[in-house]
Structure 1
Amino acid sequence: MTDDATSTHREVVHATGHEHVTAEHASTFEVTTDDWLTPAGDCILAVDADRSPADFSDSFRDAVQDAAATVTMTLEVADLTATFEGRGHPDLALTDDRSMVGRTSTHVDDRTIMLDADGAAESVDREVVDALADGADVRVVLEVTQ
């Protein structure tokens, strides 16, 4: 979708919740292609994702590498949503073939999809967390607005 002032790039990932989702991490949130989760994975919100950052389009990757870009991730779980907003950065490679991580910090690695996020796993509404812990289907919508 494009208009005169901004352009938006979008990726959609399908995943599921897991009984070990606790969403207690204070500085990150994660969605993984792994189909398992241990109780120690307190930042992981969904598993068994059908895509990873390595699968994203070149245009999405280019957009997220704009330091002025706004990156939004929305988890759609039944009729509930959880949304995080952060920013892009030139060092975001989006090459990991296993997981995507949003960070409240400025740390960058090949899993990082946004920096300076306005929340982490612990900020997700507990109703959403309960649905995830019950194994609900999740639609993850990533948008980059430039």
Structure 2
Amino acid sequence: MKFEIKAKGNRLIKATHKSTLEVTKDDFLTERGDCIIGINANFSASEIPEDLKEYLLSEGKIKIIIKVDNLIDKIIAYGSKNLSFKSENSIIIRKSNFIDDRTLAIYSNKSSIDIKRDIINLLKEDKDLYIIIKYL
């Protein structure tokens, strides 16, 4: 099974956060958003499919593919029985086990600072971002 999220890059994307990676439905980005890699996302945590929520609540392992143009980066992360999926605005993947309403997965092997800089540079040019989540 897989699920795809589409978002947009922005010239203000920094992707320098050491523990989180975020996409937001907001259509703007501020200088403080150092974990954000995409805006105008078509899904938030509350809107992901029920089967993905159930899989993540069973502490399932996922592969997250970050794709911009022909460039790809891959992340491995895990669900938790404590996820709430309540956010109607954002999705966050975390290296830590911290959970709030925006958290989709924890114990990720990468955060925004770890994403290939070639991808981040394309996102700064307002390129389309595709996030493909695969069940492992």
TM-score tier after normalising by the smaller chain length: over 0.9
Kindly state the Cα deviation for residue 10 of structure 1 after the two structures are TM-superposed: 2.3
Partner Cα separation in structure 2 for residue 138 and residue 28 of structure 1: 17
SS at structure 1 position matched to 2:121: helix
SS at structure 2 position matched to 1:51: coil
Two-structure CA RMSD over aligned residues (Å): 1.0
Aligned length: 136
Return the match for 1:101 from 87, 92, 106: 92
Return the match for 1:92 from 73, 83, 100: 83
Kindly state the Cα deviation for residue 29 of structure 1 after the two structures are TM-superposed: 0.3
Return the match for 2:115 from 114, 117, 124: 124
Kindly state the Cα deviation for residue 11 of structure 1 after the two structures are TM-superposed: 1.8
The gaps in structure 1 that reach 5 residues or longer are 1-8
Q: Which residue of 2 aligns with 1:82?
A: 73
Q: Which residue of 2 aligns with 1:66?
A: 58
Q: Which residue of 1 aligns with 2:27?
A: 35
Kindly state the Cα deviation for residue 143 of structure 1 after the two structures are TM-superposed: 2.2
Q: Is the 8 A contact 1:104 1:119 kept in 2?
A: yes
Deviation >4 Å, runs of 4+:
none
TM-score, reference length from structure 2: 0.95
Partner Cα separation in structure 2 for residue 84 and residue 25 of structure 1: 15
Percent of aligned positions with the same letter in both sequences? 24
Return the match for 2:47 from 55, 61, 64: 55
Q: Is the 8 A contact 1:64 1:144 kept in 2?
A: no
Partner Cα separation in structure 2 for residue 144 and residue 64 of structure 1: 9
Q: Which residue of 2 aligns with 1:3?
A: none
Return the match for 2:16 from 24, 27, 40: 24
Kindly state the Cα deviation for residue 20 of structure 1 after the two structures are TM-superposed: 0.5
Partner Cα separation in structure 2 for residue 143 and residue 109 of structure 1: 22
Larger radius of gyration: 1
